């Protein structure tokens, strides 16, 4: 599920590198090599999910099943929670993207994370069952949510987006610090 955000490459070639700032606008988002083959083709959490020209919120799970609601704020590059623990059960995470870029929300039942050379989470190296689920990337300024069934243990909540900017600079949100821990008690 490695994601790559290609920032304003088209603008850079048309207008020169000065046009290629760090802010929003003109972003072209790709996932792997699957060029935009249609919207909302990939709502699952599999590695082969299709790309979307613009991310939209796809809520995960049913919040009516939740016994706990936790609010998470996503920014560059932090995940901030209003509570750091919950009893075992279904936890409804209400996500508020207050940053300038799209972010996602990945739930991993571990606190020691295998990473790739670019600093992103290497999901292929997680033990079976450790990757609980995720809310796919959604835009800056918007809210989204996900409800996950969590058994007792220590979790990491993170964003695993990797941006490739003009000039080849790679920015992994996880490496930039976009994670927090969450404890589920019995």
Binding residues for Cu ion (CB under 5 A): 103, 159, 161, 173, 178
Residue 61 CB, shortest distance to Cu ion, in Å, is 20
- Nearer of residues 30 and 68 to Cu ion, judged by Cβ: 30
Residue 112 CB, shortest distance to Cu ion, in Å, is 20
DSSP character string of 31-99: BTTB----TT---S-STTPPP-SS-----BS-GGG-SEEEEEEEETTEEEES-SEEESEEEEEEEEE-S
Residue 160 CB, shortest distance to Cu ion, in Å, is 8
Is-contact 72 105, C-beta < 8 A?
A: yes
- Nearer of residues 70 and 135 to Cu ion, judged by Cβ: 135
CA–CA distance, 181 with 183 (Å, rounded to integer): 7
- Nearer of residues 66 and 159 to Cu ion, judged by Cβ: 159
Look up residue 124 and give its DSSP letter. G
- Using CB positions, name the residue nearest to Cu ion: 159
User: What are the counts of helices (DSSP H) followed by strands (DSSP E) for the chain?
Assistant: 1, 13
Residue 97 CB, shortest distance to Cu ion, in Å, is 9
Count the neighbouring beta carbons within 10 Å of the beta carbon of residue 167. 10
Residue 92 CB, shortest distance to Cu ion, in Å, is 20
- Nearer of residues 132 and 159 to Cu ion, judged by Cβ: 159
- Nearer of residues 90 and 123 to Cu ion, judged by Cβ: 123
Is-contact 148 134, C-beta < 8 A?
A: no
């Amino acid at each position: 599920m490695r994601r790559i955000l290609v920032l304003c490459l088209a603008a850079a070639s048309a207008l020169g590198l000065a046009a290629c700032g760090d802010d929003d606008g003109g972003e072209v988002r790709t996932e792997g090599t699957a060029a935009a083959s249609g919207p909302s083709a990939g709502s699952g959490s599999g590695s082969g999910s299709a790309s979307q020209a613009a991310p939209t919120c796809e809520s995960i799970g049913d919040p009516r099943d939740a016994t706990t609601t936790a609010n998470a704020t996503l920014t560059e590059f932090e995940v901030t929670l209003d509570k750091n623990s919950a009893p075992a059960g279904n936890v409804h995470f209400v996500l508020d993207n207050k940053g300038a870029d799209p972010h996602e929300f990945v739930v991993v039942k571990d606190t020691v994370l295998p990473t790739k050379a670019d600093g992103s989470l290497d999901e292929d190296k997680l033990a079976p069952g450790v990757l609980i689920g995720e809310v796919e990337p959604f835009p800056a300024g918007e809210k989204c949510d996900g409800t996950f069934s969590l058994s007792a243990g220590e979790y990491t909540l993170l964003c695993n987006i990797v941006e490739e900017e003009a000039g080849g600079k790679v920015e992994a949100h996880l490496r930039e610090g976009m994670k927090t821990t969450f404890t589920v008690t019995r």
